[in-house]
Structure 1
């Protein structure tokens, strides 16, 4: 890795020559560190709160198998995997949203709005309702296939001598509505107990998460999250517009296709484990952009940290505000995200 000074504050980070490079600054690194610390604290608080309260120091001890035996069981077996799943689901959705907004160059773009989430949800709902005996390990590939097929349909219907970003959003909204209708049909016609399970999943929930679910999402999170960081420079170039990006050396359609399917994979991974947790993909990149700027080398990890933070805090509220009921976490993220979406619509209308 080499650094070349651009100014007193900004410098370039390069890996493998110039194949992987992006601009960052001391301030951006500081913000990322602060976000990481806040996320860690939120995770410790989340692990501690529940029917049995575990103080923060006991949580830290329990993570390493030390301290009171009951606390160790509560922390390691019940709460730690749930919090880890929530954090990774939030990060996957947020990074997917950041990539989508960068590609479409539209602040309203996200897997939720464009129908990708609905396509992934339809595939996973089909597995849950039609093959109830199927292993949960089939959900990630099913959700990815559903998201990929939905994206392919949207891509084909939006194509006219290249991709029109506005048409991509409009077609996505229509395809998403069709997928949501089919999911509802599966719920209505399926067995009641299975339909209830699928319904809770569609609302977005990390209830009952175990180490099995951690192992399900972890490889997808590492591989696709890493790929998104590798592609950060390409997103920055595509934001210049197709003509300028091509002039700067970008293979526009190839890069856009790679990035779209990276975003689809991240969304599918998050949805397959956490369900359709609404508005995290839309909201998180906006928060990160306000904190850290629009350079994707820093924006992507910041979005992931913000998404993880939102889901972890929403899960604390879901578990404790209406105890002993465990409300789906998607209810809380939607309560925050829906008004923000309306605000974005109003601002877009005004401009």
Structure 2
């Protein structure tokens, strides 16, 4: 793609304060990918082994490569723990990549699916689906989740655009928080009125316990399509993250890039929420860590975010099982323990943009 420093020098005189933001670190990105994959493999084995039934790592190996249908431990591994582990990786990757794309498109360090009400929109649509269509299929829920994700994002950006002073990062985050609270209140009202509170509560608690292979089968096509679209615009997102005027000056169709980016976010977030509920802060934290380690090239940021997002949710799920055994803590609460302080730090840093 060339040097981002050179692009910046030509267009704005190479201001020193932007220097660090424009650096690309391919060696750091390779380290993140390789190191992340190793940590992910270890975490996967640990996730499969840990649970109410104590299973040794050797048994996990035997179940994966020498499956015995008569062995109870092998059945637990293949039918319960393996799909849960794979689902945690996929959901974490989807949410992290969604956050990276949102931050790149909006140039807003506070943007993420949960902060911008994309996840709340999905959960609201799922509440409506439960109320209007009892017995709806998992595929139907995913379709409603896609629609809700788009609705939540559209409302937040509409509110932010009409605010005085335009779309500053903190104003967009405040709009997202307000809209998300409103959507959650509507969901609670629907749940109580139509007596579907038990179903809806799962989606707001967020979790991957009880995942089946059917959930994985739903996640994979949506995640694959969303990631394919993201990779198609990765280079354009890099340029767009430097400024819309610069992107237009280089001949980029910014509206097309944003449209594809929004469709990708809706696909990835909608699919994740439809199977795992509302899990916050992964899309906020991971892109910042990735940019710090891998630089600003979104051709590296996207795969690195996917790997680190999978790592974060997988280990958060492991922690959720270990905090209060044999009961399970909602994994959304575990990610919030890390995410809330991180969000407050970012909000304070960006508060000067109000």
> In the alignment, what sits opposite 1:17?
none
Deviation at 1:277, TM superposition (A): 0.4
- Find the aligned partners of 1:41 and 1:144 in 2 and give their Cα distance: 32
**Matched residues, number:** 328
Q: Distance in 2 between matches of 1:289 and 1:56?
A: 34
Q: Is the 8 A contact 1:82 1:208 kept in 2?
A: yes
Classify 1:5/1:266 alpha carbon distance in 2 versus 1 (closer, same or farther; 3 Å): closer
Q: Would you say the 8 A contact 1:105–1:165 is kept in 2?
A: no
Q: Secondary structure at the match of 1:320?
A: helix
CA contact (8 A) 1:87 1:312 kept: yes
Residue 119 (structure 2) pairs with residue 108 (structure 1):
no
Matched, 1:50 2:54: no
Unaligned residue ranges in structure 1 (runs of 5+): 7-22
Task: Say if 1:200 and 1:328, in contact at 8 Å, map to a contact too.
Answer: no
Q: Distance in 1 between matches of 2:103 and 2:2?
A: 29
Matches within 5 A, 1:105-254: 105-156=107-158, 165-166=167-168, 169=173, 171-191=175-195, 194-254=196-256
Structure 1, 321-330 or 167-176: larger mean CA deviation: 167-176
Match of 1:80 among 76, 79, 82: 82
SS at match of 1:132: coil
Give per-residue Cα distances to partners, 1:189-243, cap 9 Å, x unaligned.
232xx41232122111112110011111110111111221221101001112111
Q: 1:332 to 1:170 in 2, by over 3 A?
A: closer
Which segment drifts farther, 67-76 or 263-272?
67-76
What secondary structure sits across from 1:112 in the alignment? Answer: coil
303, 306, 330: which is aligned to 2:305? 303
Distance 1:349 1:156 in 2: 21
2:341 aligns with one of 336, 339, 342: 339
Q: Partners of 1:28 and 1:325 in 2: how far apart?
A: 38
Aligned residue number for residue 19 of structure 1: none
Give how far 1:327 is off: 2.2
Change (3 A) 1:345 1:155: closer
Using the alignment, how far apart are the partners of 1:40 and 1:120 within structure 2? 30
Q: Is the 8 A contact 2:286 2:309 kept in 1?
A: yes
- Following superposition, the deviation at residue 78 of structure 1 comes to 0.9
Are 1:129 and 1:195, in contact at CA under 8 Å, matched by a contact in 2? no
Give the C-alpha shift of residue 316 in structure 1.
1.2
1:29 aligns with 2:33: no
Write the distance in 2 (CA, Å) between the matches of 1:326 and 1:319.
5
Counterparts of 2:130 and 2:321 in 1: how far apart (Å)?
24
Q: Tell me, in whole angstroms, the C-alpha distance in 2 between the residues paired with 1:37 and 1:165.
A: 40
What displacement does 1:97 show?
Answer: 0.4
Which residue in the other structure is 1:63 paired with?
Answer: 64
Between 168-177 and 204-213, the greater mean CA deviation after superposition: 168-177
Query: 2: CA distance between counterparts of 1:214 and 1:307?
Result: 17
Structure 1 range deviating more: 63-72 or 48-57:
63-72
TM-score, length-scaled by structure 1: 0.86
What is the Cα deviation at residue 121 of structure 1? Answer: 0.9
What's the TM-score, normalizing by structure 2?
Answer: 0.85
Does structure 1 conserve the Cα–Cα contact (< 8 Å) formed by 2:28 and 2:293?
A: no
**165-174 or 107-116: bigger deviation:** 165-174
Is the 1:24–1:297 contact (alpha carbons within 8 Å) kept by the matching residues of 2?
no
Structure-2 separation of matches of 1:83 and 1:238: 35
Give how far 1:305 is off. Answer: 1.2
Following the alignment from structure 1 to structure 2, what is the Cα–Cα distance between the partners of residues 308 and 282? Answer: 14
* Alignment gaps of 5+ in structure 2: 4-23
Distance across 2 between alignment mates of 1:345 and 1:171: 13
Q: Secondary structure, in 3 states, of the residue corresponding to 2:114? A: helix
Deviations 1:107-144 (A, max 9, x none): 11111111111111100122234433111221211100
User: 1:61 & 1:347 partners in 2: Cα distance?
Assistant: 50
How far does the alpha carbon of each residue in 1:229-282 deviate from its partner, in whole angstroms, 9 at most, with x for none? Answer: 221101001112111101112111221122122112211111111100011111
